[in-house]
Amino acid sequence: MRDAYISGVGCTRFGRHEGVGPVELMAAATEEALADAGIDRLAVDGLICGYATTLPHLMLSEVLAEKLALRPHYAHGVQLGGATGGAMLMLAADLVRAGRCERVLVLGGENRLTGQSRDQSIQTLSQIGDPEFEVPCGVAVPSYYALLGSHYLSKTGAAEADLAEFAVLMRNHAGLHPLAHLRNPLTVDDVLQSKPISLPLKLLDCCPISDGAAALLIEADPAGMRVRVRGAGQAHQHQHLTAMSSLLNTGAGASVARALEEAAMALEDIDYLSIYDSFTITLAMLLEEIGIAPAGKSASLARNGMFGPSGPQPLNLHGGLLSFGHSGVAAGLAHAVEAVQQLRGAAHDRQAMNSPLTALVHSEGGVLSAHVSLVLERTR
């Protein structure tokens, strides 16, 4: 079976794009990814796109192929919440390995900030709740994660200030990225004093809503710098919060274990971390369940510099969802784009000092429901 490589990446600025629609955003990211890979759009024979809440079409992959002047042999739309980006990359790599496609474009983006009202956004995102036991209670997405946060703080002895450390860390990283949505520095006190959203989560514990798009090209035998998809794994143990068997064992650990097993690597072999961070509690829980930090101790590792540019396992050096921004599927793809740039040594002022050769990209959707993990490796 062949290897699959990420040969091109593209990403727009995240933030406010007044008057720019989702197709235009995705077109810009596509142009950048194709130019980065050095190929013509007609050489793309596979297209995998993620859902867009501001472009809810039943045949979105067909729409994008038409609008972007692509003629793929294979087209597919994927809908897995925040895990969509990881799932699309896993599928694209499998298609290339199997010989079904030679070059697959993976694409996501939308104008989630300017293209819909707050009420529309809340109504759309409320669909992740159980229609019988959760939605009638008026629970919004932050409330689900706040419940996880309350349980986590109670079980581990961690404090709200510990969660705030991750908001500060991500903002520090985003300050070095010119495309990030939020770049002004933060302090722990700023986070703790920000508007309560659903306690223990405050406004700055939550990611911003953004416009933006990201694209990656997966190839069988690219020229130039090679970033191989060495391993991948998934885990799906529940959909709804009320169906979770364990709030501290959600499937993230199993997903990463499967990816590492396929890659024939251990967690200690990973040089760079791209971990989904829709809320500060998301990041803390994922880091600990995956095994990067002991229970309740991820914030202390952050304070001690483990996840900074000069640390042993730099984390989300683009600023993550918490500061780079959240534009639906594109947010998870932006984690993968940054991982590729770090492995290439092309991240400029935010480049990890450990010259990473390997990266772990982990995305999750729903309420820590769907988990997808990828192990990437720079090869000669």
Ordered mean pLDDT values, 10 residues apiece, the chain (380 residues):
95 98 98 97 97 94 97 97 98 98 98 90 80 87 95 96 98 98 97 97 97 98 88 96 88 98 98 98 98 97 97 98 97 98 97 97 97 94
Residue 94's CB is within 10 A of a number of other CB atoms, namely 17
- What pLDDT does residue 122 have? 75
The predicted structure's pLDDT at residue 138: 84
Boundaries of every domain in the chain: 5-115+209-379
DSSP 8-state secondary structure symbol assigned to residue 296? T
- SS3 state at 176: coil
pLDDT at position 223: 79
DSSP tag of 14: P
The Cβ of residue 253 has, within 10 Å, a number of other Cβ atoms equal to: 18
What pLDDT does 256 receive? 98
**Are the CB atoms for 217 and 8 separated by under 8 Å?**
yes
The upper half-sphere exposure of residue 256, i.e. CA atoms within 13 Å in the direction of its Cβ, equals 27
Query: What distance in Å separates the CA atoms of residue 333 and residue 375, rounded to the nearest whole number?
Result: 14
Angle between helices 141-156 and 280-290 (to 10 degrees): 50
Q: Which helix (H) or strand (E) holds 63?
A: helix 60-67
60 contacts 49 by C-beta, under 8 angstroms: yes
Tokens at residue 10, please?
């593209």
CATH of domain 5-115+209-379: 3.40.47.10
Angle at 184 between CA 178 and CA 187, to 5 degrees: 135
End-to-end CA gap in the chain: 19
Do residues 84 and 108 lie in contact, with contact meaning Cβ atoms separated by under 8 Å? yes
Both structure tokens of 209? 């809503």
Is the alpha carbon torsion for 199, 54, 80, 289 positive or negative?
A: negative
- Other C-beta atoms within 10 Å of 178: how many? 10
Please identify which residue in the block is written with the tokens 């999750």.
364
**Distance in angstroms (rounded) separating the CA atoms of residues 89 and 227:** 13
Comparing CA positions, the residue from 342, 325, 350 lying closest to residue 214 is: 325
Q: How far apart are the C-alpha atoms of 142 and 127, rounded to whole Å?
A: 13
Burial of 25 (0-12, 13-18, 19+ CB in 10 A): buried
262 backbone φψ class: left, alpha, beta (φ>0; ψ -120 to 50): alpha
Is 340 buried (19+), middle (13-18) or exposed (0-12) by CB count in 10 A?
A: buried
